[in-house]
């Protein structure tokens, strides 16, 4: 579905991503693990073009989206993003958070947008909170609304950047549960996480990033039970 070739990203003189080759297939759940600063967020941000890659190619369904004249805007609507800090619109209620993008970007009618939003708020167990403001919600509830908001755009791929890292420990489980159910439903997902239990249980493939490169990738059993590289082993020893 998405095929990244020779992707590099430089900030000033700092090469944060170096010659990354990486792909996600339809229906696949890929987790990205690695130390802080290894480039995980930058990779996600390059994939959805929140950052412009310095070089390389992003092939989406066979089309090179970085080529001149390509409709980057439309491509971005195909990717849903969930951030560590939720990024909800605090002055909008829950329902409106989940409809505004549909109405403004996808040009759906208010009625249709609300119907779709409620469907996905139901999926994340937040359909009883449609009139609540984000300030009235717990962190876990906010993140579930953020997931529903992204799903309401009906993207082809969902990108998650440490979706549970800002949560109090007792709220991590409810968000992971929603993500596990989504994974089982066949959604294509790319998840940056420090939740190794989730990575082990849910992912089809685990990617270990280290200093701007993909140091190792493979099935969860391979990465967790039998890592090839010393740096993967050291990282796992530190985190588990």
Give which of Mg ion, ligand ADP, none residue 121 binds (C-beta under 5 to 8 Å, depending on kind): none
Pick from 206, 219, 214: nearest CA to 31 = 206
- Cα 230 from Cα 215, distance rounded (Å): 10
Minimum distance, C-beta of residue 48 to ligand ADP, in the bound complex (Å): 13
DSSP 136: G
Quick one: which of 37, 173, 186, 197 contacts ligand ADP (CB under 6 A)?
A: 37
Of the pair 27, 37, the CB lying nearest ligand ADP is at 37
Contact assessment for residue 70 and residue 59, using Cβ atoms and an 8 Å cutoff? no
Residues 6+ away with beta carbon under 8 Å from 23? 1, 2, 3, 4
Query: Rule CB under 6 A: is residue 140 a binding residue for ligand ADP?
Result: no
What part of residues 3-32 is at the interface with ligand ADP (CB under 6 A)?
11, 14, 16
Look up tokens 């717990």; give the residue: 138
Nearer to ligand ADP, 32 or 116 (CB): 32
Burial class, 2, CB count within 10 angstroms (exposed 0-12 / middle 13-18 / buried 19+)? buried
CB 65 within 8 A of CB 77: no
- Ranked by CB distance to Mg ion, the top (closest) residue is 41
Q: In the bound complex, what is the minimum distance in angstroms from residue 32's beta carbon to ligand ADP?
A: 8
Distance of CA 155 to the CA centre of its chain: 11
Q: How many residues bind ligand ADP (CB under 6 A)?
A: 11
Smallest gap from Cβ 36 to ligand ADP, in A, equals 4
For position 46 contacting ligand ADP by CB under 6 A, the verdict is no
Query: Which of 2, 20, 29, 39 touches ligand ADP (CB under 6 A)?
Result: 39
CB of 220 to Mg ion, least distance (A): 21
Q: How far is the CB of 133 from ligand ADP (least distance, A)?
A: 30
CA 137 vs CA 23, 88, 132, 133, 166: distances in Å? 36, 11, 8, 7, 14
For the CB of residue 78, give the shortest distance to ligand ADP in the complex, in Å: 22
Coil, helix or strand for 195? coil
Q: Which of 2, 22, 30, 41 binds ligand ADP (CB under 6 A)?
A: 41
Of the candidate residues 22, 28, 29, 42, the single one contacting ligand ADP (CB under 6 A): 42
| Nearer CB in complex with Mg ion: 159/179 | 159
The C-alpha R_g of the chain, in whole angstroms, comes to: 18
Per CB under 6 A, residues contacting ligand ADP are 11, 14, 16, 34, 36-42
């Amino acid at each position: 579905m998405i095929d990244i070739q020779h992707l590099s990203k430089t900030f000033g003189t700092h090469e944060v991503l170096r010659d990354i080759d990486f792909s996600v297939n339809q229906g696949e759940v890929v987790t990205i693990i690695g130390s802080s600063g290894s480039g995980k967020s930058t990779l996600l941000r390059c994939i959805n073009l929140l950052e412009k890659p310095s070089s390389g190619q992003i092939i989406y369904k066979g089309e090179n989206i970085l080529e001149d004249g390509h409709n980057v805007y439309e491509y971005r609507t195909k990717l849903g993003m969930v951030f560590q800090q939720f990024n909800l619109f605090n002055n909008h209620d829950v329902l409106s958070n989940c409809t505004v993008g549909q109405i403004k970007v996808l040009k759906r009618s208010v009625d249709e947008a609300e119907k779709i939003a409620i469907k996905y708020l139901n999926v994340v167990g937040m359909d009883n909170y449609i009139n609540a403001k984000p300030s009235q919600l717990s962190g876990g509830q906010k993140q579930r609304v953020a997931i529903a908001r992204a799903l309401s755009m009906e993207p082809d791929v969902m990108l998650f950047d440490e979706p549970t890292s800002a949560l109090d420990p007792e709220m991590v489980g409810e968000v992971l549960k929603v993500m596990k159910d989504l994974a089982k439903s066949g959604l294509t997902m790319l998840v940056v996480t420090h939740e190794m239990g989730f990575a082990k249980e849910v992912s089809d493939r685990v990617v270990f990033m280290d200093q701007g490169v993909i140091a190792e990738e493979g099935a969860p059993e391979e990465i967790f039970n039998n890592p090839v590289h010393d740096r993967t082993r050291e990282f796992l020893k530190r985190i588990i």
